[in-house]
Every structure is written in C-alpha cells, then in structure tokens.
Structure 1
Amino acid sequence: MTSSKPPKLAARIERWPIAGAFTISRGGKTEAITVVAEVRQGAHTGRGECVPYARYGETPEATLAALLSMQEALRGGLDRRGLQGAVPAGAARNALDCALLDLEAKIGGQRAWELLGRPAPRPCTTAFTISLGTPEAMAAAAAKASDRPLLKIKLGGDGDGDRIAAVRKQAPESELIVDANEAWTPANLEQNLAACEAVGVTLIEQPLPAGQDGLLARIRRPVAICADESVHHRASLEGLRERYDAINIKLDKAGGLTEALAMADAARALGFEIMVGCMVATSLSMAPAMLLTPQARFVDLDGPLLLARDRDGGLRYDGSTVYPPDAALWG
C-alpha cells in the first residue's frame, strides 16, 4: 500500500432475493446472504464478497464479526500476504483477501491480473444450474435452458436416474455436468454412475460424502469425478488423486483468490482438471474467480443469473457467456 494513511475496514451483511428458489440435496433457499468487506485507504476502496457456508459451520453473523475483528491488524500493517497465515481458510478470509487485492490494484493503477502476473481473463462459457426437483420439474427447467451450451444438474440420491434422463430428453444438445452434493451412497453409486454415462454426462461433482469417498478409488469410474466438499486448499489435494479426476475451486472454501490461484497451479501439476465454482451470490463474488478461468476446463459462475437482480455494475452475461469485470466492479 502506498498511502500513508492506515486502511479502514467496514463490513456488512447483504440479502439478495433468488429468482424462484434454489434447491440442492441439503435443502433449498429463496435468498442469497452475503457478507461484503470494504477496505479504504486514501481515495481508494477495495471490495470483496463472500457467502458463509452452513455446511462448514459458518454463519453471516460470525463471518461479519470475524471480519470486523481484523481492523486493528490491518491498521498495524497486515497485508494480503500476511493474511494467509493470520486467518484460517473460509468465507471471511475470502472477502478480505479479495478486498485487499482490489485495493492494491486500484492504488497501483493496474488490473488485478496484471498485478499478479496472471493471464487476462477472457469471455467464457459458464454452466447454468438446474435445481433439484421432480423429474418433471427438472425437465421443464431444462427445456427452458436447452439453448445453453453447459448445464449443471443438481441431483439428490434415489431417483436420480429418472431425473437425469428427463433433463437429457429436454436438452439434447447441452453438455451436462451433475452435482450430487454428497447425496449418493455406496448402494446407489454405481447405478447412478451408469445412468449418467447413459445420457453422456461429462462430469459428476462430489457423489459421496467427504470423508466417506474411499469407494471411488476401488470402482470403475465411467464418468470423470470432481471433488467439491472433499477439497478446500492445497493441503487437501495429494490425498485425492486416486479418487477424483478434477477439483472444484471455490474462493469461499479456499479462503480467497490468493490461495485459489496457488491451489489451481498445484492441482494442475498433480494432473487434476480444474473447475471454478461459486455460491449463489452477486457479481462481486464472481469477479475475482474470473482470474481462475484461463486454467479451468469447467466454469460455473452463474450465481448472479440465479438472483432476482444483481448489484449495479455487475458482470456482463450474454446468454451463458460471462465477460471479465470492469475495474469499477472489482480488480
């Protein structure tokens, strides 16, 4: 930071209505609750957004408190690099990491990718999510989205063969990836894998619960399997090589873009395909993740498309094509 004034941190909880409802195997919701961090120094303000994830015991209130508790450390000189060792991976660190990087780029008059020495993101195709429901409801949703080149299908366990067959019938040309969100069991795993293979699914996310996925190393995997809940940061990669073919990198899990980029480098060195994913959130959450897209085989940054409205100045979406952020939004 070049300003002589110490940075000032502000944070708040925001609520964003979802268009309809968003349902996965663990339940549904009608709004996205995000926490925004803003770090101001001199005339510049950096912003970052995170989504606390109940799956890992995070709440918006605790995340907000964790962010605000960092004020004195920032005044004392804590920067983005020091943050990695000072705060554990998770939503709070993500918001602050992205805010500090945004601030650093604005003060330096650079784009974030230039600052980091990374390739500039380009327009790319994002998946569009079909929520879990009855085969009939999912087929109707797939029919409406059948012109999109990449669909992500939320599944939930028993009956998933009927669901994925119904979706494929209504979206015959779309590439399909599915996300079981840990809902499959050893009893239905191979049956569900066969159902996905039969309709040409390209990738399956997290079929078994994290910590109970050893069976994936002992069976034939007719479709590539992607780790989501089983992978968080670089330290978790090595143990996944026999069970998974790809990993889903989400900034809220990794604890920010700094770790996510390092994680992507490490994962590719180990032979994993990369998927960049998101929670349901605004474009402020998606914008930093765009820096991962040059390395990603799969991009799933459709969070704003699932909202009733995005924040002003959000990312540009043209159908399923998402464009890099303007500097006014982030980075």
Structure 2
Amino acid sequence: MTGRTTLSLSAHIEKLPLKQAFHITGYTFTACDALIVTLREGNLTARGEALGVYYRDDTPPNMLAQVDALREIVQQGVTREQLLSLLPAGGARNALDCALWDLEAQRRGKSVWELAGVSKVASLLTTYTLSADEPTQVAATARGMDGVRALKLKLTNDTLNAERVKAARAACPDAWIMVDANQGFTRESLAALLPTCVEARVNVIEQPFPIGCEDWFDGFECPIPFAADESVQDIGDLAKLAGRVQIINIKLDKCGGLTAGLRLAAEAKRQGFDLMVGNMGGSSWSMGPAFVLGSLCEVVDLDGPMFIRGDRTPGVSYRDGRVWCPDEVWGNPRATTA
C-alpha cells in the first residue's frame, strides 16, 4: 500500500443505544459507544468498527486519539503487518486493521475470505446471550428468542446464579448452554454452583475467575470445559492458560483486529486449544470481520446487533439460531461508495 497518495482517513465515535439494559458482573450497559474508521480512495470506501475493551480503559475516546495520531502515516500508506507494530492490541488497531482488510478486498477485487485463506461458510450457529437478570426474566427472554439453539447466560457475583441456570434450561430444554461469569466467581462460589450446572447440562463455563487468578484453575475438578475470555488478550497470554482451560475466546477488540485474530487462532489451535469467537457488542460492521474468523471456531458468539436499537443496512441476519453475514455488509470485493 506504500506510495498511494489519494487515501484519506476519517474517524468518529457513534453511540449505539441498546434495546434494554444489559447486566454482567460489575457493569450495566445501556448503550455501546463505537469507533468508526473510514478509509476513502477514489471511489472506494472501506470501514472498520470497534468498541474497545471496557475493563482495560480501552475506550472509544482513547481509541480515537490513537487513530488520529497515526493519520498522516496511514494516509501515506500502511500495511496491516506494519500496523501490528504501530499500535498495541486493542480497539484502535482493530478498527484500522478491519478498514484496511475492507479496502484491500475492494482494491484487489477479492473477498476477505480469499485474502485470509479461509473457506467461506453459509452461516454459523451462534449463541444468543442472556443478561444476568432476575430468573423469571431470564426465562421469559429465553422463551422469546426465536429459533434459539445455543444460549450464553451471564452470571454474576450474587445469590441468584443457580436459579438463573435452572430458568434458562427450563425455558430451552434442548439448547446448548454456556455460562459466563465475567470474572465474578471464587473457587468456592463456583464449586457451590457446579452441581446445578452439571444437572442443567451446561456445556461450557466461561471466565469464572478474575484476571491474574489463573492458578485458581489448578486442581479444580470440573467435568465441564472452561473457556478463557478476559484472561487472554493476545498470543502472549496463551502460556498461562495451558492445561487450565480448554477454549480460547478471541475477540477482535481484544487482540487488535482480524490480522492479529487469525494469528492468535492459528497459534491457539497449534497449542491444542479449541477456539471461540466473541464480540464486545456493536453493529454488523463489527460482526463482519469476526464472522470470517468464526468459520475457524468451535464456538461462535456473534449476537451483538440483536441488542442495539438500529443496525446497519445491509446487516447480518439471524435465523434458526444461526448468523449469516454477506460480503455486502463488510469485506465486499466490489467497490462501494460512501
């Protein structure tokens, strides 16, 4: 890309209100603030969207400042490989990296799937996430999710978790279920909940313990596989999770883009981990790059647009518990205009 002089970069923050409040351990969300990066070159318009990592103070205002600081370098021409050394893992690099993928697809007339060397899929089975609400509300929400086949149930550090798990299973007796504590458990609280999870046929337990407490997994007997989310940001975190968890949750906002996400996926697979793709929320512009990565994963959690009041047009679609993201949403090999 070096040497091109007609490339222009613009970036702004966009608020994406949620349909209703969403509860996890320690946080309640009513909206998503997203950084939108747009690259224009002649009649080509490419975009990347990122939300950042809220628990690392990787906020859209900070991300916007990072992007603005690189404006001249980017407009002079930068490759995705160069970007890896120019920005740390996080939302700013994610938004720029995904915009560069989108632009390259249009420049070369090839889909991102082709550029990434990934086999294109028609759709992916995805989890539908349940907020850590009162158990009666958990059941009502689960019953109202049309075509649900896989659930991700948020749990928190209170006394209602067992009832939430029971409510989700009763509402969806045949669904695959993951529970996600977002670092909210101790060894003791997880041990107390575990019999309920086993009885309810929970399939995966995600991030039960806080970042930095990975040794809490040592010696903990659990018949249900563990997935790591907050504990793994990029490739450098894999070593501390070996022999402790079975699944690595890759989010492009955490690792800093599709380029880094594909590298993390390859290395995690090489080390024997199963893969999961997740999201920090956002619109279909966030789901597009993650959908490409999702074709490599055993577990897919790409339901972010379901929670916002208004998505992009065109956008991803959800049907029969599956998500489909056509190239027209993001990564279109045909030139698009603003």
Q: Same fold by TM (over 0.5)?
A: yes
Gaps spanning 5+ residues in structure 1: where? none
> Are 1:146 and 1:174, in contact at CA under 8 Å, matched by a contact in 2?
no
Q: Is 1:109 the equivalent of 2:96?
A: no
> Which residue is 1:222 aligned to?
223
Cα deviations across residues 230-271 of structure 1 (Å, max 9, x unaligned)?
A: 001111112201210101000000100001011111111111
Partner Cα separation in structure 1 for residue 75 and residue 141 of structure 2 = 49
Compute the displacement of 1:146 (Å): 7.1
Write the mapping of 1:1-331 to structure 2, written as runs, cut at 5 A: 1=1, 4-145=4-145, 147-159=147-159, 160-327=161-328, 329-331=330-332
Partner Cα separation in structure 2 for residue 146 and residue 243 of structure 1 = 35
Partner Cα separation in structure 2 for residue 329 and residue 57 of structure 1 = 27
Cα deviations across residues 204-249 of structure 1 (Å, max 9, x unaligned)?
A: 1100001113121211121100000000111111220121010100
Amino acid corresponding to residue 143 of structure 1 in structure 2:
R
Bigger mean CA offset, 265-274 vs 316-325: 316-325
Q: SS where residue 254 of structure 2 aligns? A: helix
In 2 relative to 1, CA 122–2 (structure 1 residues): closer, same or farther, beyond 3 Å?
A: farther
Q: SS where residue 295 of structure 2 aligns? A: helix
Compute the displacement of 1:28 (Å): 1.1
In 2 relative to 1, CA 328–227 (structure 1 residues): closer, same or farther, beyond 3 Å?
A: closer
Q: SS where residue 52 of structure 2 aligns? A: coil
Amino acid corresponding to residue 120 of structure 1 in structure 2:
K
Bigger mean CA offset, 33-42 vs 279-288: 33-42
Compute the displacement of 1:2 (Å): 8.6
Amino acid corresponding to residue 16 of structure 2 in structure 1:
W
Amino acid corresponding to residue 312 of structure 1 in structure 2:
T
Amino acid corresponding to residue 183 of structure 1 in structure 2:
G
Q: TM-score, normalised by structure 2?
A: 0.94
In 2 relative to 1, CA 246–35 (structure 1 residues): closer, same or farther, beyond 3 Å?
A: same
Cα deviations across residues 131-187 of structure 1 (Å, max 9, x unaligned)?
A: 001112212212223741001100003321121012111111111111100001122
Gaps spanning 5+ residues in structure 2: where? 333-338
Compute the displacement of 1:328 (Å): 5.2
> Are 1:164 and 1:196, in contact at CA under 8 Å, matched by a contact in 2?
yes
Bigger mean CA offset, 276-285 vs 158-167: 158-167
> Which residue is 2:336 aligned to?
none
Amino acid corresponding to residue 8 of structure 2 in structure 1:
K
Q: SS where residue 221 of structure 1 aligns? A: coil
Partner Cα separation in structure 2 for residue 74 and residue 3 of structure 1 = 11
Amino acid corresponding to residue 40 of structure 1 in structure 2:
R
Compute the displacement of 1:75 (Å): 3.0
> Are 1:193 and 1:222, in contact at CA under 8 Å, matched by a contact in 2?
no
> Are 2:7 and 2:39, in contact at CA under 8 Å, matched by a contact in 1?
yes
> Are 2:5 and 2:76, in contact at CA under 8 Å, matched by a contact in 1?
no
Partner Cα separation in structure 2 for residue 14 and residue 50 of structure 1 = 10
Partner Cα separation in structure 2 for residue 74 and residue 47 of structure 1 = 14
> Are 1:151 and 1:177, in contact at CA under 8 Å, matched by a contact in 2?
yes
Q: SS where residue 295 of structure 1 aligns? A: coil
In 2 relative to 1, CA 213–328 (structure 1 residues): closer, same or farther, beyond 3 Å?
A: closer
In 2 relative to 1, CA 146–123 (structure 1 residues): closer, same or farther, beyond 3 Å?
A: closer
Cα deviations across residues 78-122 of structure 1 (Å, max 9, x unaligned)?
A: 221100011100000000000011101111111011112221133
Amino acid corresponding to residue 154 of structure 1 in structure 2:
K
Cα deviations across residues 264-304 of structure 1 (Å, max 9, x unaligned)?
A: 11111111111100011000000001111221111100000
In 2 relative to 1, CA 155–39 (structure 1 residues): closer, same or farther, beyond 3 Å?
A: same
> Which residue is 2:335 aligned to?
none
Partner Cα separation in structure 2 for residue 169 and residue 213 of structure 1 = 32
State the percentage of identical aligned residues. Answer: 38
> Are 2:5 and 2:77, in contact at CA under 8 Å, matched by a contact in 1?
no
Bigger mean CA offset, 194-203 vs 3-12: 3-12
Amino acid corresponding to residue 62 of structure 1 in structure 2:
N
Q: How many residues align?
A: 331
